[in-house]
Amino acid sequence: MGFVIAEVVYGLAAHSLALLSDAGHNLSDVFGLLIAWGAIHIGKSIPTKRHTYGYRRSSILAALVNAVVLLIVVGGITWEAIERLYKPEPVAGTTVIWVAAVGVLINGISAWLFMAGRKHDLNVKGAFLHMAGDAIVSVGVIIIGFAIRATGWHWLDPAVSILIGAVIVWGTWSLLRESINLALDAVPEAIDPHAVENYLAALPGVQTVHDLHIWGMSTTEVALTAHLVMPVPPTGDNFLHDVAHALREKFGIGHSTVQIEHGDVECHLAPAHVV
């Protein structure tokens, strides 16, 4: 937040849209990190009778909000940059270079802190993309500063701002798509539903598999429900225990609910009964 304030002050003093744009982007990151942090803690809440899964899903909403906010900020930056292309303003290149260099350091370290968890948590991935995007923006701003000092072409400031915005949108699009899919209970991208179905169908004694559902309870937890038709039902709970363990180890599905059907009564959720 301190760096955001510094960028605004020096951006106004240097008449640099690139610095002001970077400040707006960094400000969205401050809110994004607060949202991500809040969602992680809310997601650890104890389930209640009304919210039987607790508030795990809040992490999905946080990832979605992060993506939308980032795209809105880029849209505002691009609009201002287009206007400045027609009316370029003098820019103090040296000030831009030094302030942006500090931004590379701050955002680079921040992105590095989130790097390890980005592959396992969409919420952390959103924070990582924010930080990495800011580092890229700051590098672009440094290039602008040197180019303006060398050529005196002040239109480079808004032009490169538009280019940086395009790079950010490209990197954010996958986050937006995946968070929307999770919000709609789609199968998480890291899981192959056909592989899961084939595994269940190949279990000893299983005749058919139906009513298979896989969805994200949060950005880190996956749930599954399935009906297994077994003419000769297993004895004891070892079968279900082994299946739950295998689903966790093989596919990362930690919350599985499997229903065993003997096949003597036709299930109303079987394919023949589902339109």
Residue 100 identity: A
Over residues 150-169, the mean pLDDT reads 78
Q: How far is CA 185 from CA 39, 40, 158, 217, 259, in A?
A: 18, 19, 40, 8, 20
Helix (H) or strand (E) holding 126: helix 122-151
Please provide the CATH number assigned to the domain covering 2-183. Answer: 1.20.1510.10
How would residue 142 be classed by pLDDT, with cut points 50, 70 and 90?
confident
Please check the confidence at residue 136 and state whether its pLDDT lies above 90.
no
Q: Strand, coil or helix: what is 218?
A: coil
Tell me, rounded to whole angstroms, the distance of Cα 235 from its chain centroid: 43
pLDDT of 225: 94
pLDDT at 231 over 90: no
Which pLDDT does position 144 carry in this prediction?
77
**193-273 and 2-183 share a CATH fold:** no
Beta-carbon count within 10 A of 147 CB: 16
How many residues are there in the chain? 275
User: What is the tens place of the pLDDT at every residue in 105-126?
Assistant: 888 888 888 777 666 666 677 7
Position 275 scores a pLDDT of: 43
Q: How far is the CA of 160 from the CAs of 135, 139, 201, in angstroms?
A: 15, 11, 54
Would you list the domain boundaries of the chain? 2-183, 193-273
* Contact by Cβ (8 Å): 64, 72: no
Superfamily of the domain at 193-273: Cation efflux protein, cytoplasmic domain (3.30.70.1350)
Phi-psi region of 192 (alpha: psi -120 to 50; beta: other; left: phi over 0): beta
Beta strands 222-229 and 208-216: pairing type? antiparallel
Give the containing element (helix H, strand E) for 229.
strand 222-229
112-121, 189-198, 236-245: least confident range: 112-121
Q: Highest mean pLDDT: which of 21-25, 99-103, 270-274?
A: 99-103
Q: Is the pLDDT of residue 252 over 80?
A: yes
